[in-house]
Amino acid sequence: MSPGRSRGTGGTGERRSTRPADRSDLWWRTAVIYCLDIETFQDSDGDGVGDIDGLADRIEYLASLGVTCLWLMPFQRTEDLDDGYDVTDHLGVDERLGDLGRFVELLRVAHDRGLRVIIDLVINHTSDQHPWFLSARSSRESPFRDYYVWRDEVPEDPGNSVFPGQEDGIWEYDRATEQYYLHNFYRHQPDLNLAEPRVREEIARILGFWLQLGVDGFRIDAVPFLVEEPGAPDGQDPHAFLREMHRFVRRRCGEAALLGEVGLPHQEQLEYFGDGGVELDLQLDFLTAQMVFLAMAREDAAPLARVLAERPVVDAAQGWAMFLRNHDELTLELLGEGPMQEVFEAFAPDPRRRVFDRGIVRRLAPMLENDPRRLRLAYSLLFSLPGAPVLYFGEEIGMGEPEDTDDRGGMRTPMQWEAGPTGGFSGAPREELPTPPTGGELGPDRVNVRDQLRDPESLLSYIRRLIAQYRSTPEIAWGELRVLDVSPASVLAHASVSAGAAFLAVHNLSAQPCTVRVPVGEIVGEDACFEDLLAPTEGLSADGGQITLALEAYGHRWLRAADLDPAP
């Protein structure tokens, strides 16, 4: 990739670390990641569009929340037909949002407050208005022709679009040069040809440029498409490109991380970590996220417990990124048709809230009927499951989506900072905002940062507590995952065990209170004493290797035993 002069206990398929790891350098393993879109976070100049200066003004809020890493969605130059993912210049900043000078200042401010910054890396495709593609489609003799994938005829097995119902296929006819070009996403997003060495050199320049400015890593969009034919870099070894990219990034910045979007089952995701930590450092855990919703829909912990027990153990330098919602639909593909319909009926009974026959376009708060108990339960799961937790902006206050939304735009309304017609997002009139805040019970007059900061019982206050406790309990991320056998079926009990300490989380997914006996003897011995991390108590002592807990409806407990020798 050199551009010229540059230089748990799993069931099946488990792997152990192949080398010792210095935890101080593996910041991504314990990061609390906050994903945001600059365009909808804070407008500093009153033009109705969020910008870099506005985000810089809010860094103090993010630091006080406890997050340690910002994930910035695309902010490069774009036609803005796909929320910025149709990039027209990978080395520039969209003029609406600011410029490179302001971006460098943003990095300084974030780093000064202890926050790392990773940015979206969109290299599967470009906009059809990118200079490379404009040249490529101007003539078959263009020097940029091979930057993209062209065919004289549509293949017999043409493949399916990522957006069924919005695109009929993945090959688009170009009249100017009388050939078809590949687009796995929208037709205005032609796929790059990674088999072309010059394209890989361009990607190296992009990586090197942003690393030199000071970013701490990249979230790589749609990773599986980077290794699939046609357009993969090496048909004999499709993962060679990911290893090449990882080596390049580490040469340029030894502490930079690669977070990958790989929406596959765990066993297939292993390939994208690479043997010994040579490809992705973190991967978003789509399967566990989907099982969380299936378990909540059924009020039965079994699907989630099974997936956690079978999740492979990866290299010590790698990890899973845990999330509940993000800027896209809540995809349910990995569940299978029957379970998918169960989740649809539970959380998106209105068919207008479903897209592409696979996902839900709703934020978490309205999905859970804005029930504080269920919201706290869900976020307790997020922060107690081993991995790096990822929050999507606005989740910490329980934002909603517009009532008339029927696409992914419902997830992308502006941040609600205070009461008022624009929620403190902008000084522009509401009617001039490209996307106004949502209204109703979850609009800014009822759900906003300012009010919740003053309320110790608010969702924001609770999530701040969860983050603080997660950051002060290292065994959550570093310990060995154990899923414990308990009843009733609505209860999930899991532990993270490390040398000298054990963390235990117990969650009741049901609306019915219950009492549960947890067999802790197998993880901490017979007589260990547990500290309650989320409530002031005198502590709990094991009795005959068990502890008994009374759980309210949707109740949960975080317990920790320290200064002990964990049972083998």
Residues catalogued as catalytic: 221, 261
Only one residue has tokens 């390939």, namely 271
Strand order in the sheet with 354-355: 330-331, 359-360, 354-355
73 within 8 A of 35, measured Cβ to Cβ: yes
Residues β-bridged to residue 492: 507
> Nearest CA to 43 among 62, 61, 56?
56
What secondary structure letter does DSSP report for 167? B
End-to-end CA distance of the chain: 45
Distance CA 284, CA 264 (A): 10
Q: Who's near 72: CB < 8 A, 6+ residues apart?
A: 36, 37, 38, 117, 118, 119, 120
Helix (H) or strand (E) holding 57: helix 52-57
Rg (CA), the chain: 24
Class of residue 293 by CB neighbours under 10 A (exposed 0-12, middle 13-18, buried 19+): buried
The amino acid present at 33, given as its one-letter code, is: I
210: tokens are: 């942003």
Look at phi and psi of residue 80 and say left if phi exceeds 0, alpha if psi is from -120 to 50, else beta.
Answer: left
400: tokens are: 């909603």
Q: Who's near 309: CB < 8 A, 6+ residues apart?
A: 8, 9, 10, 11, 483
Specify the 3-state DSSP secondary structure of 109: helix
